[in-house]
A = this chain, B = another copy of it.
Amino acid sequence: MIRAGILGASGYTGARLALYLSRHSGVEIAFATSRKDKGKTMSDLYGALRNICDIDLIDPEDATKIDIDVLFTCAPDQTSMKVVPDYYEKGVKIIDLAGDFRMDSPEIYESWYGAPHTSPDYLKKKVFGLTELYRDNIKETSLLSNPGCYPTSVLLGIAPLVKSGGVNCDDIFVSSMSGISGAGKGLSQFKLFYEADSNVLPYNQGRGHKHAGEMEQELSKIAGEKCTVVFAPHVIPIKTGILSTIRLTMKDNMSRDDVAALYRGMYADEPFVRVYDDRLPESKFVADSNFCDIGYSIAEGTNTLIVVSTICNLGKGASGQAVQNMNVMFGFDEKEGLL
């Protein structure tokens, strides 16, 4: 039985984490923190967790005295970079669900996040936690940076194609639709039911979203060459879920069988990636789960390939992948707590 702490547990990723960890046979939650909601329990905030996870929310300062094996940080940007060093030096394994450690250098971090990085040395210590691609490194690391939700859908969606060298990397266009929980629990006008229901909200299109930077950095590593991503995100009236529709051009034409073979080569044994050869996946297939479902279409008469990749933004796009990574880091069955 390992002991886990959750920093910033009162938000939607914290609640999902509490659910998955409660189902996990090898973990107990040692603490859950919230500055704003301390004194309440997780099930005060989330009725669904009653009798499942009734842990008290405590102040993060009080949590530092509590012994843990793994720390999940779900706090807002620029928070985990402040607390990670102390936990790291104490020997606690860290899984950061924020964006603080995703970029590879302080310069790139600042260019996309608009703020300086205060723990730049740790950027190099971290492993980027896209489980399917970096499992071996994840086993060894003590600082795991959990990928962003949009990037998870896109990276898993096209990694086999980009890696194969068969598609043009300088011309990747991504149109994504996201459920509103991707924007978190903070109060903003556009998140109100009255504003969001029956509506499509396009935002930060082109190069305006920090996840475009994360996609480019990681795709470039997979491709072994510089990738350029143009990104068009939209918020649609669903609570959770991301579906990314990715337009690629092929260097030489590939058949559906060629494409299927590339996906099989990378994902045949993956428990949480499901590739469809004969249909397109819908976002409800992955609702609340840790699956990533992928389908594709070749636009006949052109060299264009359209990939559809869908995840639950709170599952594989956040807390699910975090638990999957914890399972790898601690030697649990990778599916434990997640099915």
Contacts and interface: CB of A to CB of B under 8 A. Distances in A.
Contacts of A189: 185, 187
Interface stretch (A92-100, A139-147, A194-202): A194-202
Given A282-B200, A283-B200, A287-B198, A206 B298 contact: yes
A230 to B, nearest CB: 4
B282 A199 contact: yes
Interface in A182-233: 185, 187-189, 191-203, 205-208, 228, 230, 232
Contacts of A301: 207, 228
Contacts of A308: 202, 205
Nearest to A46: B285
A206 B241 contact: no
Contacts of A304: 173, 206, 230
B185 A192 contact: yes
A137 interface: no
Given A177-B177, A187-B189, A284 B198 contact: yes
Contact of A52 (B175, B284, B339): B339
Interface residues of A, number: 72
Contacts of A197: 193, 197-198, 237-239
A48 interface: yes
B192 A48 contact: no
A189 B23 CA distance: 27
A293 B200 CA distance: 13
A319 to B, nearest CB: 15
Given A51-B274, A297-B206, A306-B206, A192 B199 contact: no
Interface in A6-23: 12, 23
B194 A194 contact: no
8 contacts: A191-B193, A193-B193, A201-B282, A205-B306, A206-B298, A207-B300, A232-B245, A237-B237
